[in-house]
Amino acid sequence: MDNHWEHEVAALLRDLSSAQSDLLALLGEKRQHLLKPDAARLQALQPREQALLERLQACHDRRTQLLKQAAVEGLPASSLTTLAEAITPSGRSEVKVQLTQAARQSRLLQHQSLAQWVLVQRSLLHLSQLLEIIATGGHLRPTYGKEDPTGATGTLVDHAA
């Protein structure tokens, strides 16, 4: 095959790997700011997150275009892995190593993102429960029943309760 494909796939994978590494670093910083609640610093990370999102989207768009071009030229184009199989043997091993590394980093990013999502969800649940305790004065009342619904106000609404 043509050296052009080898170069294109390798360049895409280098850019993807760079974006993934930067995102892993950002998620590490974000984790630190989540563990010791620092809303200002978390918000300051947002522009960097947006820039990384744009870089990853550009990699995705390049991948799509690359696979479309490969299909037009009659190369296997169902994935970058199948395209890498069709690349010359001299470049196959380098590209395969890059593909393996990108897949590994992608999996790590998924785990890091999921862990942070769980942490944030549990924090929201905890805050929701605290608000419920404050609103009901610490006295939980049944959701359903024959009680007078107007008597179910919390101490924030009706201090006399």
Q: Is residue 7 part of a domain?
A: yes
| pLDDT band (50, 70, 90) for residue 26 | very high
Domain count, the chain: 1
Q: Is residue 12 part of a domain?
A: yes
Q: Is residue 82 part of a domain?
A: yes
Sign of CA dihedral 118, 120, 121, 122: positive
Separation of alpha carbons 115 and 98, rounded Å: 26
* Burial class of residue 152, CB neighbours in 10 A (0-12, 13-18, 19+): middle
The pLDDT value recorded for residue 39 is 85
What 8-state DSSP symbol labels residue 153? -
Q: Give the orientation angle of helix 46-72 with respect to helix 3-35, to 10 degrees.
A: 160
| pLDDT band (50, 70, 90) for residue 161 | very low
What is the average per-residue pLDDT within 144-156?
A: 57
| Backbone dihedral angles phi then psi of residue 87, each to the nearest 5 degrees | -75, 155
The pLDDT value recorded for residue 160 is 55
The pTM is what? 0.73
Q: Is residue 139 part of a domain?
A: no
Q: Is residue 122 part of a domain?
A: no
Residue 100 in tokens: 């393996």
Q: Is residue 36 part of a domain?
A: yes
The pLDDT value recorded for residue 72 is 92
Q: Please name the residue ranges forming H helices in 36-151.
A: 39-44, 46-72, 80-86, 89-136
Please tell me which residue, 25 or 77, carries the higher pLDDT value: 25
Residue 14 pLDDT exceeds 90 = yes
Q: Give 31-81 pLDDT, tens digit per residue.
A: 988 888 888 998 999 999 999 999 999 999 999 999 999 999 888 888 888
First to last CA, the chain: 81
Separation of alpha carbons 27 and 31, rounded Å: 6
Separation of alpha carbons 38 and 11, rounded Å: 37
Domain around 35: 3-115
Q: Is residue 159 part of a domain?
A: no
Q: Is residue 120 part of a domain?
A: no
